[in-house]
Amino acid sequence: MASADLLRREEEFYASLFDSAKGGDAVKSRGQMIERKIEVLEDMAAKVSNRRSRRWLNDRLLIELVPRLHVEEIKGLFAPPPWGEELPVSAFCRTSVGEWDAFRSIDMDVEARLMQQMKQSSTKQKNHVDRNELVALNSWHHIDRQTREAIKRNFLPDLLEIYEERVRTFIEDTSGKDMLVLNVQDPFQRLLLHGVCEFYNVSSTTTTTVRDGKLRKTTTIKKRSGTGRAHKIKTFLAWSNPTEMLLEA
C-alpha cells in the first residue's frame, strides 16, 4: 500500500514544479519539468504495492505523457466532421467538382421522381415474363429429376442439339407423319433423348429387339394430343443454365 510519505512527496514535487519562486533549483523549461515528473511517477509506481494506488499513479503518468492540447485541437474533439470542422477536399472532388456538385445539389423533388421511376422500371422488369420463356420453364419442370441431374453431371450440348433438331422437325412436320423411330444404343444417350422428348411433350418408348443375334434398342417417338408448336427456347440452353432461360436468336 502506498505510504503517506510517498503521497506527501508526490504532492510536494507537484507543488515545486509550478512554484517559480524556489530559487536556482527551479526547472527552467516545461519539457524538463515533464521529464522529471514522469521519472518521479515511475519511481513511485515501482515502490507501491496497493493495486488502487498503482492504478492512480499509472493514470497520472499517462496524463503527463499526453501533450497539452491547444484551443483548435480541443474544439476539434467536440466538433468532429461533418458537424464541426470541414473535411479536406478529396482527389475525386477536385477532379470531378462539377459533376459532384450537380449530384449533391439535386432538387429533392427531382430526386424523389427519379427514385420512383427506377423502382417502377425494376418492378416491370421483374413482372415481365416472355410467353416462350414461361412455356420452356414449365417444359423443363416436366423432365424427371433423375434425368436433369444426369444431364448436369455430364452435359453434352452437341448431342442434345442433334436430338432437338430431330424432335422439333418431327413436331413441326405437317405431312401427317405421327411416328419417329431412332436407334440409340448408348444408355446415357437414350436418357438424353427421353429428356428432350419430355421437354417437347412427346411420348417416347424404347423397345428391345434381337437382330443378328444381338440386342438392339429402338426408341419410338409419337405426338401427344397436347403437343403443339415447338417453342423458341432450345433444350440445351435451358439445361446449361436453367435459371436464366435464353431466347433463341
Of the candidate ranges 17-21, 50-54, 225-229, 237-241, the one whose mean pLDDT is the lowest: 17-21
Q: What angle do CA 126, 131, 137 make, to 5 degrees?
A: 80
The answer to whether the CB of 177 falls within 8 A of the CB of 187 is no
Q: Per-residue pLDDT tens for 140-167?
A: 767 778 877 877 777 777 888 888 888 8
pTM of the model: 0.42
Q: Quick check: 3 pLDDT over 60?
A: no
Whole-number pLDDT of residue 1:
45
Q: Quick check: 11 pLDDT over 60?
A: no
Does an H or E element contain 48, and which? Answer: none
Whole-number pLDDT of residue 165:
87
Whole-number pLDDT of residue 23:
45
Whole-number pLDDT of residue 26:
46
Nearest to 194 by CA among 235, 240, 152, 225: 235
| Mean pLDDT (whole number) for 126-130 | 58
Q: Quick check: 17 pLDDT over 50?
A: no
Tell me the C-alpha distance between 79 and 23, whole Å.
Answer: 43
Of 97 and 11, the one with more pLDDT: 97
**Domains (range + CATH), the chain:** 4-72 (no CATH), 131-240 (3.30.1370)
Task: Give yes or no for a cis peptide into 242 (omega within 30° of 0).
Answer: no
Q: What angle do CA 16, 20, 23 make, to 5 degrees?
A: 85
Tell me the C-alpha distance between 236 and 168, whole Å.
Answer: 13
Look at the block and give the residue holding cell 449533391.
104
Q: How far is CA 49 from CA 2, 52, 59, 118, in A?
A: 7, 9, 15, 69
Q: Quick check: 126 pLDDT over 70?
A: no
Q: Quick check: 249 pLDDT over 60?
A: no
Tell me the C-alpha distance between 15 and 20, whole Å.
Answer: 10
Q: Per-residue pLDDT tens for 22-51?
A: 444 444 566 677 677 777 767 776 676 677
Q: Per-residue pLDDT tens for 112-124?
A: 888 888 887 766 6
Whole-number pLDDT of residue 73:
74
The answer to whether the CB of 45 falls within 8 A of the CB of 57 is yes
In the Cβ-directed half-sphere of 223, how many Cα atoms lie within 13 Å?
Answer: 17
